[in-house]
Amino acid sequence: MTPDKGLNQFESVVAEVVQKVNRSIEGNGQIIHEVSKIPGIEKNVSTIATGLVELTINVNQRFDEQQQQIDHRFEKQQQQIDSLRKEMQKGFQKIDQRFDQIVTLIQTRLT
């Protein structure tokens, strides 16, 4: 699995969870709206509504934090991959040089 593919899979799962939480919050908001129509319950509804607003803000902040952590991890992995790629290129260059030396040595011995 490539880092891009792994990151995309993780992002889609996190986005789906956030979407479900937001739908749940919306559903609760609708329930609270209907319950608020019951006489004498306004104070409780206000407290619950405030809690839902705080929950929504908290979920969005957590999602942003998770996204930043994912981005940071991805950048670190990409740097490691780039570093390994450079090391491999150097190794291949050394192999090519050695191969050229061997071919030259064989050609000089044959002539």
Q: How far is CA 35 from the centre of its chain?
A: 39
- CA max distance for the chain: 108
Whether 45 and 36 have beta carbons less than 8 Å apart is answered as yes
3: CB partners within 8 A, 6+ apart: 74, 77, 78, 81
Residue-by-residue pLDDT tens, the chain, 111 positions: 455 555 566 677 777 777 777 777 777 777 777 766 777 776 677 777 788 788 888 888 888 888 888 888 889 999 999 999 999 999 999 999 999 999 999 988 887
CA distance 88 to 85: 5
pTM: predicted TM-score of the whole model, two decimal places:
0.47
Q: What does the radius of gyration of the chain's CA atoms come to, in whole angstroms?
A: 30
Q: Where are the alpha helices (DSSP H) in the chain?
A: 3-35, 42-110
Long-range contacts of 40-48 (CB under 8 A, 24+ apart): none
